[in-house]
């Protein structure tokens, strides 16, 4: 009887101990730039020394093509994905490829920045707003300023056929009853052009070829600090954003290490790392990089990635018809 009681006490004590730290090998597929990916992995390993991270980097489109080929062969390699946008994650969720992580701590993240079923989680905000040359006739404060007579023939934007951020931006506008296709039509009728990616848009505005551009935030904010003759505006109606979400695959060989990776990225420490790398943190209460307003000053326009996924081809087709792409 005494032995049985002693054993029960011992077992109870063991069950109260914290779970063992995750270890082993973690395979990461990411679309982060190489330098950012290495910084992310190094910071994660500093917090989780028992985990060896093997990572593969490519653009989201190429990374997804590689992953889909692995799915078809029945041998997906990654435990965890860190890629550009939530629309791609919505497609993986639809195809039942993602593992829910209900225990993830989403404190400080507003609704829409993580999947309602907790299969993916945003790690930063790369917003799209307005850049203008400092010699431009007006300094826009609203998206609708780009349809004014002063901006006629002076607006350029990336094409959603080329840029993932541009595709998310168009989908965000289309979903917004204050804008919709009427706004996109008005841009075209005012002489706006759409081609290529964000880099080309920025160069056109900084070089004075165009006065105004629709572009991701970090390019003009970073280059303005270096002396480029540009100004970046977060429009009053709000901005669209790609959020570089992270997700665990259902086929993960090391799900505990993958959970630890998610935990790190969405923690205060992981979000401070994003800010240190020059990106706006997705989590509220984290100081932004130099040149950015605080997170609570930036309004995100509502965005439904599932709807964007459903309408993706139709959005591309209609945009092309309007702009002649």
Statement: residue 27 has pLDDT above 90: yes
Per-residue pLDDT, averaged over 161-171, amounts to 94
Specify the pLDDT at position 3.
42
pLDDT in tens, 40-90: 999 999 999 999 999 999 988 899 999 999 999 999 999 999 999 999 999
Kindly give the pairing relationship between strand 212-216 and strand 246-249: unpaired
Confidence class of residue 5 from pLDDT cuts 50, 70 and 90?
very low
Least confident of 6-15, 41-50, 219-228, 267-276: 6-15
pTM of the model: 0.86
**Could you tell me which CATH class the domain 19-123+243-292 is placed in?**
alpha beta
Distance CA 280, CA 278 (A): 7
- In this predicted structure, the answer to whether residue 315 has a pLDDT above a threshold of 90 is yes
Fold agreement between 19-123+243-292 and 127-241+302-323: yes
- Alpha-carbon span 299 to 293, nearest angstrom: 11
Q: How confident is the model at residue 22 (pLDDT cuts 50, 70, 90)?
A: confident
- Residue 1 pLDDT class (50, 70, 90 cuts): very low
* Residue from 253, 247, 267, 257 nearest 19 by CA: 257
User: Residue range 94-112: average pLDDT?
Assistant: 97
- Average pLDDT value for residue range 312-316: 96
Q: Residue 318 pLDDT > 50, yes or no?
A: yes
| pLDDT-based confidence at residue 191 (cuts at 50, 70, 90) | very high
Helix 198-206, helix 218-225: angle, nearest 10: 40
Residue ranges per structural domain of the chain: 19-123+243-292, 127-241+302-323
The per-residue pLDDT for 81 is 98
Tell me the pLDDT band of 19, cut-offs 50, 70 and 90: very low
**Distance separating alpha carbons of residues 220 and 149, to the nearest angstrom:** 24
Residue length of the chain: 325
pLDDT for 21: 65
Helix (H) or strand (E) holding 276: helix 268-276
- Residue 120 scores a pLDDT above 80: yes
Q: Which whole number is the average pLDDT over 256-268?
A: 98
CATH topology of domain 127-241+302-323: D-Maltodextrin-Binding Protein; domain 2 (3.40.190)
User: Strands (DSSP E) along the chain, which ranges?
Assistant: 24-30, 51-57, 80-82, 98-99, 120-121, 124-133, 155-157, 193-194, 212-216, 230-233, 240-242, 246-249, 280-281
């Amino acid at each position: 009887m005494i032995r049985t009681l002693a054993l029960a006490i011992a077992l109870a004590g063991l069950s109260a101990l914290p779970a063992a730290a995750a270890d082993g090998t973690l395979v990461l597929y990411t679309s982060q730039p190489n330098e950012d990916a290495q910084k992310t992995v190094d910071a994660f390993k500093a917090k989780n020394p028992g985990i060896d991270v093997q990572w593969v980097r490519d653009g989201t489109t190429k990374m997804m093509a590689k992953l889909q080929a692995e799915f078809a062969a029945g041998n997906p390699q990654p435990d965890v994905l860190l890629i550009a946008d939530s629309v791609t994650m919505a497609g993986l969720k639809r195809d039942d490829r993602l593992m829910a992580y209900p225990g993830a701590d989403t404190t400080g993240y507003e609704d829409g920045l993580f999947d309602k079923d907790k299969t993916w989680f945003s790690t930063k905000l790369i917003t799209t707003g307005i850049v203008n040359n400092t010699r431009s006739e007006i300094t826009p404060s609203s998206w609708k300023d780009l349809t004014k007579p002063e901006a006629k023939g002076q607006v350029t934007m990336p094409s959603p056929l080329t840029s993932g951020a541009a595709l998310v931006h168009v989908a965000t506008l289309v979903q917004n009853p204050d804008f919709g296709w009427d706004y996109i039509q008005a841009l075209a009728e005012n002489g706006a052009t759409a081609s290529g990616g964000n880099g080309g848009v920025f160069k056109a505005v900084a070089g004075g070829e165009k006065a105004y551009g629709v572009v991701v935030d970090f390019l003009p904010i970073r280059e303005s600090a270096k002396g480029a003759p540009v100004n970046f505006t977060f429009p009053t109606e709000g901005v669209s954003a790609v959020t570089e979400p992270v997700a665990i695959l259902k086929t993960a060989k090391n799900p505990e290490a993958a959970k630890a990776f998610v935990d790190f990225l969405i923690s205060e420490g992981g979000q401070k790392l994003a800010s240190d790398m020059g990106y706006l943190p997705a989590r509220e209460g984290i100081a932004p990089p130099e040149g950015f307003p605080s997170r609570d000053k930036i309004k995100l326009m509502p965005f439904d990635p599932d709807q964007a996924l459903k309408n993706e081809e139709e959005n591309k087709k209609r945009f092309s018809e309007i702009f002649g792409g």
